[in-house]
Amino acid sequence: MKSKSRAKPKGIAWAGEELSQKQIDRGSVLQTRYRPEAKYSWAAGQAMSRFLEELQNGKLIARKCQACQRTLFPPRMFCEQCYRPTDEWVYIKDTGMIETFSVSYLDKDAKRITDPIFVGVVSVDGASPQMGMMHYFGEVTKESIRIGLRVKAVWKPPQERTGSVLDIRYWKPLPEGRR
């Protein structure tokens, strides 16, 4: 449809009064401050409890669904595709491939950092194709990291493991030709 120019008449300001960062920093506008005190303790659940236990053992574990024949990783007690219980625990390897990555100059609070964090998704050998987890990459540079790079988990020493995804320090490149 062609314009009928029934837009808001000129001269009427659209609502909203902008405040600047300076006004906030100087305290020149009225405001109220509050810091919430909230703490949580999450139950890891059936699938994740076993997954975390196995991480502490230095192993990665998945669940097999006999209906779709997928090896589901991260593991879950039901297959969301078949909507039925999964059938068995299966160990998978601690090698894989970089599906995607980022070189981050931001920390968790969006603060700038100079030593970048290499992070991405690694698909793990033994799980169904493209199934993997988010994790860090190490022993790489922003020039050497690439999608498709073969990688292997670098584990913390057993006594330092706590049953966490951080029991893997990072994933490092496998030498060329190594599976």
Name the site residues for other proteins (rule: CB under 8 A): 1-8, 14-21, 24, 29, 33-34, 36, 40, 42, 44-45, 48, 52, 72-74, 76, 80-81, 99-110, 116, 119-121, 128, 130-136, 142, 147, 164-166
Residue matched to tokens 């990555």: 101
**Closest CB 20 distance from other proteins, rounded Å:** 7
Q: Where are the alpha helices (DSSP H) in 21-177?
A: 21-26, 45-56
* Closer residue to other proteins (CB): 56 or 102: 102
Instruction: For residues 156 and 162, give the distance between their C-alpha atoms in angstroms, rounded to a whole number.
Output: 10
* Closer residue to other proteins (CB): 130 or 159: 130
3-state class (DSSP) for residue 49: helix
- Please, what is the Cα angle at 157 between 126 and 164, to 5 degrees? 60
**Closest CB 153 distance from other proteins, rounded Å:** 14
